[in-house]
Chains A and B, each alone.
Chain A
Amino acid sequence: MGRSILLSTLVYGLLLAGLVTLRAEFVALAIPFSVYLFYGFWNAPELPDLQIERKFSNDRAAPDTDVTITLSIKNNGGHLEELYLDDEISSQLSVRIGWPRQLFRLPKGSTHTVTYTIAGPRGAYVFDSVSLEGTDSLGLVRRTKTMSVKGRLFVFPEVRHLKSVPIRLRKTRVYAGTIPARSGGAGTEFFGVREYQPGDSPRAINWHVSARHAETLYSNEYQQERVADVGIVLDARERANLFRGTRSIFEHSVSAAAALSDAFISQGNRVGLLVYGSYLSWTLPGYGKVQRERIMRSLAGASIGVSSVFAGLEHLSSRMFPTESQIVLVSSLLHDDLKIVVQLRARGYQVMVISPDPVKFERELLPASAEVDIAARIIRMERDLLIRRLERAGVQVIEWDVSRRFDQAVGPLLRRPHAAISRRTS
């Protein structure tokens, strides 16, 4: 019940008592309460007419890094004796300094600044509105208003920088890059020898071969190095990521996808990202820093999803990726994924699977017992079999023990040629 209603009830109760008992003292007793009510209603505030601006010290941050939010509130309306402001922030964010809820006085035409510092885990946080409540000085009359003061804060996943990720593809793009293009031209690695053509540098002439032919000169040819198309697929299906109810391996997958996309973009490749969860979140392929920003934003907002439609990887259509490009699947892998991944390989894609090890991850969450050991061994055998089948189909699989840092555990394996990769990081 509102305070004014409570007080009014008391006043009318006393007046009624006075009327029934015909005692003027009861009526007199109602006077202080009536004066209090009258003063409150007389000073009732207008509906707040405010102008609010939101500023972030940084709209992109690393996990658990302080970000300061400043709200400037200007009063364009009448005097507000008490203004209660509540900036609605995500429950995942923690307030480090200051407070997003404040009560203050805001005279006509003045400006008040609310500053607070927050930090939080990876995520794309939307700041939508600010709730305001103006009250009279006695708190009897309240005028509430919700103002739209939009803002977005991206907390990017932590990116572990990989030195390089060598890949070999049949098809590359026309621009110069770092991936051997299997065709002669300008480059650093020897490719072959061909007849000298006008315009060839004299330093390219292969004198040993030319000496064997009386009238013809021969030049060395180098392998062209170009950029390629890389599609990173992040598996966000709930059944592939959640263990023991709420413990998720997904954060590790996200950090792996971030490190890989950063490395591929740094090498000049055209990179796209597909988050495969309750729906398909597709970041179209692109180059450079802008694309890196787009992918990081997409990864910041990635979350586990459950959907009967996307329970399997059937919707990982080959039409999403340019033909014969590199696909990197970051997934803990499920048994029914085998068919789809092999199909992608059969269509000519180079497929690499970075698989955070779910067996070890879940094993560490369970109590030590003989039954758990046996179950872990059985699941391990099934998983080994799955990985062996994938490798037999020409898929490069790297299993990652998530207790070790991605760059330290997987980085050295990625730098080795495909055939030499030891499958497991531990």
Chain B
Amino acid sequence: MTLFALVSGILLSIGALAWEYSQAGLASLSLFLLFFGLAWLFSLWHNWDWFSSLGLFVAVFAAAIGFWFELNSSWMVAGAAFALFAWDMTEFRRRLRVIIVDDQIRGMERRHIARVSLVILAGLFLVTIALLIQLRFTFEWGVLLVIVILLGIAQLVAWFRRQ
């Protein structure tokens, strides 16, 4: 079940991004994404779990570039969200590998997939609202973002110092 969800996540993520790029006439970028998707699927076969992090970054970067080129934002957001789903499933699959035979597996898989799907759907819902409202980037928004980013950087620095 997890593998099916994982493969679906990769296909939907790469598919959404590649489709919109090809629709916009950016065939080379679309081809690159398709090859990258194949590599991601290949990494599953070899259990290269680290590749999913790379996949997530590439998908988010591709979505950001798509926004920059003013492509259809729904496809871009969907691409990034499904990449997040695939990234989560990869980690969950890694954790499940330690269970050999257990009657809890099915239940754990079902609950996890349902939970992650709901979380990502909630995120997508909020993005949709944000995009529908079409917030303008005002000075107040800027100040808020600066504060959030500074807090985040401080947290990251603290984490690295603890390590």
Contacts and interface: CB of A to CB of B under 8 A. Distances in A.
Interface of A: 2-3, 5-6, 8-12, 14-19, 21-29, 31-36, 39, 82, 84, 98-99, 101-105, 135, 137-139
A28 B156 CA distance: 22
A15 B141 CA distance: 11
Could you tell me the dominant secondary structure of chain A's interface residues?
helix
A-B pairs, 9 with minimum CB distance:
A32-B123, A35-B123, A25-B67, A12-B152, A28-B130, A22-B137, A99-B100, A31-B127, A19-B145
Contacts of B1: none
B77 to A, nearest CB: 6
Contacts of B137: 18, 22-24
A29 B111 CA distance: 26
Contacts, number: 127
Given A25-B73, A102-B98, A15 B67 contact: no
B130 A137 contact: no
Contacts of A21: 68
B60 A98 contact: no
A14 B153 CA distance: 13
B130 A24 contact: yes
A29 B67 contact: yes
Contacts of B41: none
Contact of B95 (A17, A29, A139): A139
A36 B149 contact: no
Interface string B90-123: 0110011011101010011001100110011011
Contact of A105 (B56, B63, B104, B116): B104
A8 B152 contact: yes
Contacts of A6: 53
Given A5-B159, A18-B145, A35-B123, 6 more contacts: A8-B156, A9-B156, A16-B149, A32-B127, A36-B120, A138-B119
B142 interface: yes
Interface residues of B, number: 54
Interface stretch (B21-29, B30-38, B80-88): B80-88
A15 B127 contact: no
B148 interface: yes
Interface in B22-71: 53, 56-57, 60, 63-64, 67-68
Contacts of A11: 152
B120 A14 contact: no
A103 B105 CA distance: 9
A9 B91 CA distance: 18
B85 to A, nearest CB: 9
B91 to A, nearest CB: 5
B76 interface: yes
A98 B100 contact: yes
A29 B99 contact: no
Interface centre among A10, A31, A84, A98 (most CB of B within 10 A): A31
A137 B98 CA distance: 16
B98 A24 contact: no
Contact of A24 (B57, B91, B116, B135): B135
Contacts of A101: 98
Contact of B60 (A18, A29, A104): A29
A29 B63 CA distance: 8
25 contacts: A5-B156, A12-B149, A15-B149, A19-B149, A24-B135, A24-B141, A25-B73, A27-B141, A27-B145, A28-B73, A28-B130, A28-B131, A32-B123, A35-B119, A35-B120, A35-B123, A36-B88, A36-B119, A36-B123, A98-B100, A101-B98, A103-B96, A103-B108, A105-B108, A139-B95
A103 B119 contact: no
Nearest to A22: B137
Contacts of A19: 142, 145-146, 149
B124 interface: yes
Contacts of B115: 137-138
